[in-house]
Amino acid sequence: MRKPILAIVGRPNVGKSTLFNRIVGGRAAVVEAQPGVTRDRIHREAEWAGVPFTVVDTGGIATVGDDMAARVTAQARRAIEEADVILFLLDGGSGLLPEDHEVAEILRRAAKPVIVAVNKVDRFDQPLPTAEFYELGFGEPIPLSAREGLNVGDLLDEAVALLPRDEAWTGDAAEEPTSVAIIGRPNVGKSSLLNALLGEERVIVSDAAGTTRDAVDTFLARGERRYVFIDTAGIRRKSRISEPIERYSVQRAQKAISRADVALLVLDAVDGVTAQDQRIAGWAEEAGRAIVLVVNKWDLVEKSSDTMDRYREAIRRELGFVGYAPVVFLSARTGQRVSSVFPAIDRARDEFARRVPTAELNRLLQDAFLATPPPSDRGRRLKLLYATQAAVRPPTFVLFVNDPELATNAYRRYLENQLRRAWGFVGTPVRIILRRREAR
Ligand code: GDP
Ligand code: GDP
Where does the pLDDT of residue 203 fall: very low under 50, low under 70, confident under 90, or very high at 90 and above? very low
The pLDDT of residue 212 is above 70: no
Rounded to the nearest angstrom, the distance between the alpha carbon of 145 and the centre of ligand 1 is 9
> What are residue 7's phi and psi, to 5 degrees?
-105, 135
Reply yes or no on whether the pLDDT at 332 is more than 60.
Answer: yes
What average pLDDT score do residues 3-12 get? 89
Residue scoring higher pLDDT (365 or 400)? 365
Other C-beta atoms closer than 10 Å to the C-beta of 420 total 16
> Which H or E run contains 178?
strand 178-183
Give the pLDDT of residue 38. Answer: 41
For the beta carbon of residue 352, count every other beta carbon within 10 angstroms: 24
pLDDT over 90, % of the chain: 45
Q: Distance between CA atoms of 261 and 279, rounded to whole angstroms? A: 19
Name the band, by pLDDT with cuts 50, 70 and 90, for residue 213. Answer: very low
- For 304, residues 6+ apart whose C-beta sits below 8 A from its C-beta are none
- Taking 3-state DSSP, the helix, strand and coil percentages for the chain, each rounded to the nearest 5, stand at 40, 20, 40
Q: What are phi and psi of 339, to 5 degrees?
A: -70, -15
Query: Which residue lies with its CA nearest to atom 2 of ligand 2?
Result: 187
Q: How many CB atoms lie within 10 A of CB 357?
A: 9
CB atoms within 10 A of CB 199: 12
Mean pLDDT across the stretch 264-269? 97
3-state secondary structure (DSSP) of residue 278: helix
Residue 262 near residue 348 (C-beta atoms within 8 A) = yes
Which pLDDT tens digit goes with each residue over 91-141? 999 999 988 888 888 888 877 888 999 999 998 888 888 888 988 888 788
- How far is residue 348's CA from residue 193's CA, in Å, rounded to a whole number? 18
Task: Say if residue 166's pLDDT is above 60.
Answer: no
Pairing between β-strand 225-229 and β-strand 380-381 as defined by DSSP bridges: unpaired
Alpha helices, DSSP H only, in 274-408?
A: 275-287, 307-318, 341-352, 358-371
Distance CA 238, CA 186 (A): 7
The answer to whether the beta carbons of residues 435 and 398 sit under 8 Å apart is yes
Ligand 1 close to Cβ of residue 39 (< 6 A): no
Bridge partners, residue 265, by sequence = 183, 293
Residues with CB under 6 A from ligand 2: 184, 186-192, 235, 238-239, 296-297, 299-300, 331-333
- Pairing label, strands 380-381, 384-391: unpaired
User: Contacts from 337-342 at CB under 8 Å and sequence distance 24+?
Assistant: 337/298, 338/193, 338/196, 338/197, 341/193, 341/197, 341/264, 341/292, 341/294, 342/197, 342/222, 342/225
Nearest-angstrom CA–CA distance, 87 and 101: 15
pLDDT in tens, 214-255: 567 777 877 778 888 887 766 655 554 445 555 667 778 888
- Tell how far the Cα of 191 is from the centroid of ligand 2, in angstroms: 7
